[in-house]
Structure 1
Amino acid sequence: MERVGALAAIGATPVVQLGQLVGSESAQVWVKLEAANPTGSYKDRMALAMIEAAEADGRLSPGQPVVEYTGGSTGSSLAFVCAVKGYPLRIVSSDAFAVEKIRTMQAFGAQVELIESPEGITPQLIPRMMARAREIAAETGAFATDQFNNTDMVDGYRRLGAELIEQLPGEPAIAAFTGYVGTAGCFLGVTQALAQKVPGLHRVAVEPAESAVLSGGAPGVHHIEGGGIGSRPPQLHETDYDEVIAVPEAEAFAMAREAARREGVFSGPSTGANLVAAIAVARRLGPGRRVVTVQVDSGLKYLSGHLYG
């Protein structure tokens, strides 16, 4: 499918090796800089994939409204894609998420409805947002992208994995991938693409320690946006990963700040969690291997909150 205007800028992001945070006793750690996408997030990939697939099979008609529940970056990306393609967009989000993300959605023309959750990302928040999005779809006839249940979004991330294979050929070999789990679309798409070319790939799912459901813990309140929804994402199964690392939010926040100051990797707390896990795995593996992870989004999305405020 030929892409119009700025949509052609999605993907083909650079990958860089960490030089300061990883010692010589560890495997290399490489980070895919997904902030280079148009809205500063890897969610541009999934937003475009969901819309294009719905256009192709007739689920989405020209000019039809679109609705989604989102913590922010998916909403920003959908607002961008829908603006270029001419679809009205309704977003259900919350004041638990960064205000920069809400304003980005509105800047692209989306209508945003916020559900109050002043305590943070609770186990009840995402189900409430999902229920309200379903109501809007029923009331307006909008196409619900329904990101957690939409298999098209996984396709949007397989290209990210293919890019890593193209960008990191030869030795040392890619040994592991670490990814913070929200919808699990990026984790599934990347690991599926890598596994086709990387025998024995170690797949590490990352979650907040405060809501470590994948690790067998209880759902809880946390502030690492983009994941830790309080339940297992419907498309993620135990056979899809080899290990889970639960990262305390304080460590994720601290790592995001340190990565900005020492590596120039400017990001949010979900990237901080990715880096905590990637560095831990790299220390365990030792020299002569590569661990890859992703910069989920730009730190510009978090300037008014607790991370950089």
Structure 2
Amino acid sequence: MGREGLMGGLDAIGNTPLVAVELGGGPVWVKVEAANPTGSYKDRMALAMIEAAERDGRLLPGQTVVEYTGGSTGSSLAFVCAVKGYPLKIVSSDAFAAEKIRTMRAFGADVELIHSPDGITPRLIPAMVARAKEIADETGAFWTDQFNNTDMTDGYRRMGEEILEQVKSFDSFCGYVGTAGAFLGVTRAIKQRLPDLHRVAVEPAESAVLSGGAAGTHHIEGGGVGYWPPQLTRDDFDEVVAIPDAEAFASAREAARRHGIFSGPSTGANLAAARQVAARGRSVVTVQVDSGLKYLTGPLYA
């Protein structure tokens, strides 16, 4: 059997649980994506991007892969590339959780960090993008370029289909927006069966670009990149809810202590937004983006 027949942990991606939580108001369900192998829903997109590039010849056997990432995408790509045998170069930053950087390196990725002591600033992501492009141009590496990669969005459709298998009908979906891949993939799949779905995009209040505000510095990893994600249009959502850093952190801590949902601040933002929407009597599905194990050394659980 060739290596392609020995996918190991890749077979564990997806088919994650959906659990009900009581936030007040209408019913709320949470898709537990920490059940994926690296503890994040980014495993879905990493596999989709790599396998699509393999199929159409953009990625050749043994070719190096490069990406810019806050950490969860990098961890997922490092996992997928390790199993499939591709060297991986990552551009990240010390603005993100140390656990994520260590995870990428544990899977064998070569990680370059951009110093950003103030957190996720409007300048950080563009600088990471520019460096990843530079590496691709200099080395001939395959650049997954997650923000512009439509294979990434397609990779999340199955997540929407799983939700529909687990709860037959609901009113709203709340999702924190970074690349917008998960938000788009999930909502597009759901709207095929539930055309009246109310789609709520979630972003940090300190960098509320989708709400029409200015880019700013915040600490909710996984989104709020300071500019409009290129695959997202105004027709792709019905509402934006902006959640402050402090509320996202408090919501994540409450979810661990009250509901046993151990997560990071982006999940906290999702839950805070879901609480607002459920308070109107709506039934809501949202997402546990990743595991709280990725944030133990930072301020969230200090």
TM beyond 0.5? yes
Q: Equivalents in 1 of 2:159, 2:225: separation in Å?
A: 23
Query: Which residue is 1:91 aligned to?
Result: 90
- Amino acid corresponding to residue 245 of structure 1 in structure 2: V
Q: Equivalents in 1 of 2:158, 2:287: separation in Å?
A: 13
1:11 to 2:11 alignment: no
- Amino acid corresponding to residue 133 of structure 1 in structure 2: A
Count of residues in Structure 1 that have an aligned counterpart in Structure 2: 299
Q: Equivalents in 1 of 2:78, 2:153: separation in Å?
A: 19
Matches within 5 A, 1:250-289: 250-284=246-280, 286=281, 289=282
Structure 1 residue 199 displacement after superposition: 2.6
TM-score, normalised via structure 1 length: 0.96
Query: Which residue is 2:105 aligned to?
Result: 106
Any runs of at least 4 consecutive aligned residues in structure 1 with deviations exceeding 2 A, and if so which?
A: none
SS at match of 2:279: helix
TM-score, normalised via structure 2 length: 0.98
SS at match of 2:173: strand
**Selected match of 1:196 from 184, 188, 192:** 192
SS at match of 2:172: strand
Query: Which residue is 2:245 aligned to?
Result: 249
Query: Which residue is 2:163 aligned to?
Result: 164
Structure 1 residue 2 displacement after superposition: 6.5
SS at match of 1:93: strand
Query: Which residue is 1:214 aligned to?
Result: 210
Q: Equivalents in 2 of 1:2, 1:188: separation in Å?
A: 31
- Amino acid corresponding to residue 230 of structure 1 in structure 2: G
* Identity rate, percent: 76
- Amino acid corresponding to residue 149 of structure 2 in structure 1: N
SS at match of 1:270: helix
Structure 1 residue 98 displacement after superposition: 0.1
1:34 to 2:33 alignment: yes
Root mean square deviation of aligned Cα: 1.0
SS at match of 1:230: coil
Q: Equivalents in 1 of 2:287, 2:137: separation in Å?
A: 36
1:298 to 2:291 alignment: yes
Q: Equivalents in 2 of 1:2, 1:291: separation in Å?
A: 39
Structure 1 residue 303 displacement after superposition: 0.1
Structure 2 unmatched ranges of 5 or more: none
Structure 1 unmatched ranges of 5 or more: none
Matches within 5 A, 1:124-143: 124-143=123-142
